[in-house]
Amino acid sequence: MFRTTLLIKLLIAVSWLFLTSVATANNKNESIKNDLQEYVLLISIDGYRHDYNKLHQPKNLINFAKNSARVEQFIPSFPTVTFPNHLTLVTGLYPANHGIISNRFYNPELQRDYAMNIHDAVTDGQFYQGTPLWSLARQQGLKSATYFWPGSEAKIAGYRPNYWLKYDGRTPNEERIEQVVEWFKLPTEQRPHFVTLYFSDVDSAGHHHGPEANQTREAVQYIDSLIGNLLAQVESLPFEVNIIITSDHGMAKVDEFDRLYTDKLVADNEQLIEKFIFNNDAAFSLVTAIGENKTKDLSDLKKLVDNVEGLQFYLQQDMPKHLNFTGNPSIGDAVIMSNKHYITSTDARPGVIGKHGYDPTVVTDMNTVLYAQGPAFNQQAVVKHAENIHLYPLIAEILGLTVTETIDGDITVLSPLLAHP
């Protein structure tokens, strides 16, 4: 009896030691895997136009660009506004396909409004399609972190980032940088491999003062100093980080653009008054017909628009192919567009000096930049022009992630930027 009990205890001890050694080996292997895995820091400087380095002379960004793989004209998706393009950057989908078709819109399937300032909408995953990079990372065992990236507060494709914060534009940029660095200093098993960071100052200055104003130059210089500080801290880490600096769109000076008031457009036609909902955003207006005879009402509205030089009217299904802006009910029945007007209404706030949203193939001031440094990149490689849908598969490739769904982006477009295409 004594020998049997002793034997059982011995077997239990050996089994425990074996399981412990296996667990230790697995943890060690996981740590080795994490150590070998690339890191990516994606930085968005909202409203950073493609020529701002030359125009405003930010020394840190100029030096970064000189030693970067880069895209000289990084082309945003239409409409060239903030939320749609930030989602495009992290899903590889055009706005019509990821669902956030404008900064504000009505979703008829959900029967709800979406806008940047409607918290219950921004945090509701039902509005979003596709699989953001942070969700893709989590699906495949990598941790991710976002500091104020549109969409990161919602559970999309089953996940939020491992680390994320509720948006508060009052949060000092210095605090944002400090948190990003702290994420990279976490123990290996807790450390995110995909991190995003967002700055809004350049966009705000461009809107209020215009892209070439001294105030915008000051905003660029301020963000440049912050990025210089961030780069120094990241370079001091005991591992290398791939750093990608880009933006959602550029900025155009529009204070001298002709104003087009959608309510005035139909005011002289009693048959069309109260037959439409116009969702105006300077460069475009999303039009929803609400009358009993939508086909006739839309035809009559088209005739009015066609009489205004520089305006274009398209039924959703007839949108120009290169804009990839069709097939989503949130767009509405039609779109009024212009590249030389400021589309608004008489009850709206006064227009700003700088604006975006225009067709980037016509108004090249909409275009932005892509600068990338790190072990994954050929730091002398240059691509002249590329659409921003292609960033998603590039980052997925660097992180070793498998893109499991159909996307609009194509890895071959930006793969020349890689050290090993």
Q: How confident is the model at residue 25 (pLDDT cuts 50, 70, 90)?
A: very low
Q: What is the pLDDT of residue 14?
A: 42
**How many CA atoms are closer than 13 Å to the CA of 341, on its beta-carbon side?**
20
56: left (phi over 0), alpha (psi -120 to 50) or beta: alpha
Report the alpha-carbon distance of residue 403 to residue 401 in Å, rounded: 6
E-assigned strand segments in 3-83 = 40-45, 69-75
Average pLDDT over residues 161-174: 95
Helix ranges, 279-367 (H): 294-306
Taking a C-beta distance cutoff of 8 angstroms, is the pair 252, 358 a contact?
A: yes
- Integer CA distances (angstroms), 16 to 4, 11, 22, 153, in order: 18, 8, 10, 42
pLDDT at 403 over 70: yes
Task: Select from 78, 167, 91 the least CA-distant residue to 127.
Answer: 91
Task: Select from 172, 175, 242 the least CA-distant residue to 200.
Answer: 172
How far, in whole angstroms, is CA 390 from its chain's centroid? Answer: 12
pLDDT at 32 over 60: no
Report the alpha-carbon distance of residue 60 to residue 229 in Å, rounded: 9
Q: How confident is the model at residue 35 (pLDDT cuts 50, 70, 90)?
A: low
Taking a C-beta distance cutoff of 8 angstroms, is the pair 215, 420 a contact?
A: no
Task: Select from 311, 255, 258 the least CA-distant residue to 287.
Answer: 311
Taking a C-beta distance cutoff of 8 angstroms, is the pair 224, 61 a contact?
A: yes
Q: How many CB atoms lie within 10 A of CB 194?
A: 29
Report the alpha-carbon distance of residue 216 to residue 209 in Å, rounded: 7
Q: What is the pLDDT of residue 271?
A: 85
Average pLDDT over residues 21-28: 43
Q: What is the pLDDT of residue 7?
A: 45
Q: How confident is the model at residue 3 (pLDDT cuts 50, 70, 90)?
A: very low
Average pLDDT over residues 283-296: 96
Mean pLDDT, the chain, whole residue set: 93
* DSSP type of residue 229: H
Average pLDDT over residues 378-395: 97
Report the alpha-carbon distance of residue 375 to residue 235 in Å, rounded: 12
pLDDT digits (tens, 9 = 90+) for 108-145: 999 999 999 999 999 999 999 999 999 999 999 999 99
Amino acid at 154: A
- In percent, the amount of the chain with pLDDT more than 90 equals 89
Q: What is the pLDDT of residue 309?
A: 95
Q: What is the pLDDT of residue 36?
A: 64
pLDDT digits (tens, 9 = 90+) for 302-327: 999 999 999 999 999 999 999 999 99
pTM (2 d.p.) = 0.91
Q: How many CB atoms lie within 10 A of CB 111?
A: 7
Q: What is the pLDDT of residue 269?
A: 84
pLDDT at 166 over 50: yes
Q: How confident is the model at residue 29 (pLDDT cuts 50, 70, 90)?
A: very low
Task: Select from 49, 75, 56, 53 the least CA-distant residue to 66.
Answer: 53
Q: How confident is the model at residue 218 (pLDDT cuts 50, 70, 90)?
A: very high
Report the alpha-carbon distance of residue 203 to residue 87 in Å, rounded: 17
Q: How confident is the model at residue 234 (pLDDT cuts 50, 70, 90)?
A: very high
* 112-115 and 311-315 beta bridge pairing: unpaired
